[in-house]
């Protein structure tokens, strides 16, 4: 599993490693050596400036400068702050640096195309200002190798505090932090190398991380592959509420639910729209809702076990009533788009009714409308999605290029396989449909959401530039085949 450790958890990992007998200076030596290894694998020796900060990130810098010098590289080292203010392992590392210590002014970058950024790492505590900010800004246009994180990037949030350089390579230690995968951090880090510096894996038992990169090892063992002796009803009967006018959304979602493995999919729609839906995918059942209360009656069929409401549903009382009908019928639910926005003025009415069999799939705008009052929009993506899941009791998928998924019990993942090509109309409807298809097959809400987000990203990658949402469901068989081959 690819855990993501918060800054506090990373410090804990350090302490646990030291308590287990790995000396602090040995960790710093290994950290520096790992950076040098990564650098030497990518570049031939050329003039390099190592910028060291006042803490242990700077200590790593002193090790790196010494090892590069020993490897024959032309190296200059500059320190932000004074040598006498260095303490602990950083002071030990500075003692072992044989060369001059220069002042960290932008001029040191002149003539040094490669910059090792060891100014601030996990200990960044406030926005960069003044001198620190000036030297970070002066790195623009150079090839930057960041130690742990680009200085100014916060390891928990992925946000920039004041300024941060664009790194070509970031070498971090033991595990990545959320800031390496959340935007804009992920972009600023460039290539990320995770180095083993001798922290024993078992320290994770004492930390029990709750955050991970979304990858198949988290949920593959629960994927509902069809049984040889199964039949279609064993694979669930999913229902999609179709709207009167934006009919494409429900059609995209229904096909995606089928491709994700649901045994049957029904679109329930206004009678006037029946011909449009019926002319769509032949594998989808279309059921016109002839009179008031017809949707609730349709859901009385116990075999219909999962419901999607929102894509193209229209905003207002009718959609709110449909959501309440699905919740009253105790179906596994995916609520997306208009189903979320319809509760913008009465969020608590919805949030008080949800449970972990409900998956909400908002983008940032829908999230603000539904959770703006209870959770707020100031926090980073991971904190907000976690707070939203805790508030609602539901699984929340906060969509974007760095989609994050949280369960009400505190578990969360960040998804990293989605290409930018997925930023096109209708792809959210397809995602909602994949979640629906997995819920219909009995997957638990959090696992269904994580699986769906990953499958959606892989389908996007398989198609690449030029993809439109109509293509995505068709790419799922190939993605699923490859996933199955890994078993
Ligand atoms: N297992 C590991 O991950 C290992 C990591 N190592 C490296 O250690 C750093 C973390 O070191 P730490 O000393 O805790 O923190 P930093 O070096 O990142 O920064 C702390 C100093 O920076 C000052 N600071 C913080 N923010 C600012 C700012 N905006 N402007 C100016 N100065 C700032 C801070 O000052 P305070 O006043 O806040 O105290 C500190 O002086 C980790 O990232 C790794 O690189 C080890 O090598 C071992 C293994
Ligand atoms: K750094």
Give the tens place of pLDDT for each residue, 167-226.
999 999 999 999 999 999 999 999 999 999 999 999 999 999 999 999 999 999 999 999
pLDDT at 338: 97
Smallest Cα–Cα separation from 236: which of 407, 437, 401, 50? 437
DSSP 79-129: ESS-GGG--HHHHHHHHT--S--EE--GGGGTT--EEEEES-STT--S---
Structure tokens at 388: 């939203």
- Looking only at the bridges linking them, the beta strands covering 285-288 and 412-414 are unpaired
Q: How far is CA 72 from the centre of its chain?
A: 40
DSSP helix/strand/coil, 52: strand
pLDDT tens-digit readout, 410-442: 999 999 999 999 999 999 999 999 999 999 999
Q: What are phi and psi of 388, to 5 degrees?
A: -65, -40
User: Nearest residue CA, atom 24 of ligand 1?
Assistant: 124
Of all atoms in ligand 1, which is nearest to the CA of residue 125? Answer: 26
User: Which of 57, 153, 51, 66 lies closest to 112 in space, CA to CA?
Assistant: 51
> How many Å apart are CA 404 and CA 421, to the nearest integer?
18
Instruction: Identify which of 42, 83, 23 has the alpha carbon closest to the alpha carbon of residue 59.
Output: 83
Ligand 1 pocket by Cβ (under 6 Å): 10, 14, 27-28, 31, 53-60, 120-128, 132, 147-148, 173-174, 197, 199
Q: Is the pLDDT of residue 165 over 90?
A: yes
Query: How many angstroms is it from 188 CA to the middle of ligand 2?
Result: 12
Tell me the binding residues: 56-60, 117, 121-127, 148, 151, 249, 312, 363, 399-403, 428-429
Token pair belonging to 8: 């506090």
Residue 445 DSSP class: H
With tokens 């929340």, the residue in question is: 396
| Spans of all domains in the chain | 7-209, 216-485
Residue 61's alpha-carbon distances to 16, 79, 121, 238, 479, in angstroms, are: 23, 9, 11, 56, 43
Decide: helix, strand or coil at residue 413: strand
CA distances from 382 to 179, 180, 212, 413 (A): 10, 12, 11, 8
For 80-104, write each residue's pLDDT tens digit. Answer: 999 999 999 999 999 999 999 999 9
For ligand 1, mutation pick of 85, 124, 152 (most atoms within 8 Å of CB):
124
Contact at 8 Å (CB) between 426 and 469?
Answer: yes
Structure confidence at residue 230 (pLDDT): 84
Cα separation of 151 and 28, whole Å?
18
Q: Which residue, judged by its Cα, is nearest atom 25 of ligand 1?
A: 124
Q: For the chain, give the percent of residues with pLDDT over 70.
A: 100
> What's phi and psi for 75, nearest 5 deg?
-125, 135
Tell me the mean pLDDT in the region 73-85: 97
Gap between the Cα atoms of 360 and 403, Å rounded: 13
50: closest CA among 40, 64, 39?
Answer: 64
pLDDT score at 1 = 81
The pLDDT, as a whole number, for residue 258 is 98
Distance of alpha carbon 439 from its chain centroid, rounded? 21
pLDDT band at 11 (very low <50, low <70, confident <90, very high): very high
pLDDT of residue 335: 98
CA–CA gap between residue 451 and residue 151 (Å, rounded)? 34
All residues at 6 or more sequence positions from 49 whose CB lies less than 8 Å from its CB, including other chains: 75, 76, 77, 78, 108, 109, 112, 114, 115, 116
pLDDT band at 388 (very low <50, low <70, confident <90, very high): very high
DSSP 341-384: HTTTT-HHHHHTT--TTEEE---HHHHHHHHTTTT-SSS-HHHH
Quote the CA–CA distance of 273 and 447 in Å, as a whole number.
34
Residues 6+ apart with CB under 8 A from 229: none
Average pLDDT over residues 127-154: 97
pLDDT for position 272? 96
Distance 83 CA to ligand 2 centre (A): 18
Mean pLDDT for all residues in the chain: 97
For the chain, how many residues are written?
487
Report how far residue 116's alpha carbon sits from residue 453's, in angstroms, rounded to the nearest whole number.
36
Beta partners for residue 117, in sequence order: 51, 146
pLDDT confidence of residue 379: 95
Residue 112, pLDDT > 90, answer no
Q: Are the C-beta atoms of 382 and 413 separated by less than 8 Å?
A: no
Assign 292 a pLDDT band (cuts: 50, 70, 90).
confident
* 149, 180 Cβ separation under 8 angstroms: yes
Spatial separation of the C-alpha atoms in residues 176 and 10, rounded to whole Å: 9
Mean pLDDT for 323-345 is 98
Q: For residues 388 and 374, what is the distance between their CA atoms, to the nearest angstrom?
A: 8
pTM score of the predicted model? 0.97
**Ligand positioned closest to the Cα atom of 161:** 1
Backbone angles phi, psi at 194, to 5 degrees: -105, 115
β-partners of residue 332 are 306
Q: How far is the CA of 119 from the centre of ligand 1 (A)?
A: 8
Tokens of 255: 């096909």
SS3 content of the chain, % helix, strand, coil (to 5): 45, 15, 40
What is the DSSP pairing of strand 169-173 with strand 75-79? unpaired
* Residue range 273-287: mean pLDDT, rounded: 96
> Band of the pLDDT at 487, cuts 50, 70, 90?
confident
Contact of 157 with 178, CB cutoff 8 Å? yes
Provide the pLDDT confidence category of residue 18 given band limits of 50, 70 and 90.
Answer: very high
Cβ(126)–Cβ(160) below 8 Å: no
Provide DSSP, 416-443.
----GGG-STTHHHHHHHHHHHHHHTT-
Q: What is the mean pLDDT of residues 152-156?
A: 98
Which of the listed CATH numbers 2.40.40.20, 3.30.70.260, 3.10.20.30, 3.40.50.10260 matches domain 7-209?
A: 3.40.50.10260
Tell the residue number behind the tokens 């939203």, with chain if given: 388
pLDDT bin (cut points 50, 70, 90) of residue 229 is: confident
Q: Is the pLDDT of residue 350 over 90?
A: yes
Binning pLDDT at 50, 70 and 90, where does residue 232 land?
A: confident
In terms of CATH, what superfamily is 216-485? Ribokinase (3.40.1190.20)
């Amino acid at each position: 599993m690819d855990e993501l450790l918060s800054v506090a958890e990373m410090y804990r990992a350090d302490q646990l490693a030291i308590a287990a007998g790995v000396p602090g200076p040995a960790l710093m030596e290994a950290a520096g050596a790992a950076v040098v290894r990564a650098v030497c694998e990518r570049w031939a020796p050329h003039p390099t400036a190592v910028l060291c900060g006042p803490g242990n990130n700077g200590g790593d810098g002193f090790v790196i400068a010494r090892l590069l010098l020993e490897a024959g590289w032309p190296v200059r080292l500059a320190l932000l702050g004074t040598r006498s203010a260095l303490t602990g392992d950083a002071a030990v590392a500075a003692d072992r640096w044989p060369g001059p210590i220069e002042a960290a002014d932008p001029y040191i970058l002149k003539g040094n195309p490669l910059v090792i950024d060891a100014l601030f790492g996990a200990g960044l505590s406030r926005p960069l200002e003044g001198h620190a900010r000036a030297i970070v800004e002066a790195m623009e246009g150079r090839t930057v190798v960041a130690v742990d994180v680009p200085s100014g990037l916060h390891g928990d949030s992925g946000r920039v505090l004041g300024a941060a350089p664009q790194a070509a390579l970031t070498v971090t230690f033991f595990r990545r932090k959320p800031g390496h995968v959340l935007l804009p951090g992920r972009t600023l880090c460039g290539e990320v190398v995770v180095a083993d510096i001798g922290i024993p894996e078992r320290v994770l038992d004492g930390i029990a991380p709750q955050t991970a990169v979304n990858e198949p090892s988290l949920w593959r063992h629960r994927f509902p592959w069809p049984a040889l002796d199964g039949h279609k009803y064993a694979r669930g009967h999913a229902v999609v509420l179709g709207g009167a006018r934006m009919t494409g959304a429900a059609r995209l979602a229904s096909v995606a639910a089928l491709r994700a493995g649901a045994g049957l999919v029904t679109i329930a729609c206004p009678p006037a729209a029946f011909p449009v839906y019926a002319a769509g995918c032949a594998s989808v059942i279309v059921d016109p809702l002839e009179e008031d209360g017809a949707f609730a009656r349709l859901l009385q069929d116990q075999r219909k076990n999962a419901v999607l409401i929102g894509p193209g549903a229209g905003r207002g009382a009718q959609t709110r009533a449909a959501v309440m009908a699905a919740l009253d019928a105790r179906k596994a639910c995916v609520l997306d788009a208009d189903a979320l926005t319809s509760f913008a003025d009465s969020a608590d009415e919805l949030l008080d009714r949800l449970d972990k069999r409900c998956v909400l799939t908002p983008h940032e705008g829908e999230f603000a409308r539904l959770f703006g009052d209870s959770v707020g929009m100031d926090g980073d993506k991971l904190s907000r999605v976690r707070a939203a899941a805790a508030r609602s009791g539901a699984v929340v998928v906060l969509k974007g290029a760095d989609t994050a998924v949280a369960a009400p019990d505190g578990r969360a993942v960040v998804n990293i396989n989605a290409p930018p090509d997925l930023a096109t109309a209708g792809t959210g409807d397809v995602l909602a449909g994949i979640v629906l298809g997995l819920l219909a097959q009995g997957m638990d809400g959090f696992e269904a959401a994580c699986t769906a987000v990953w499958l959606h990203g892989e389908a996007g990658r398989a198609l690449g530039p030029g993809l439109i949402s109509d293509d995505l469901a068709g790419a799922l068989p190939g993605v699923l085949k490859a996933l199955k081959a890994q078993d």
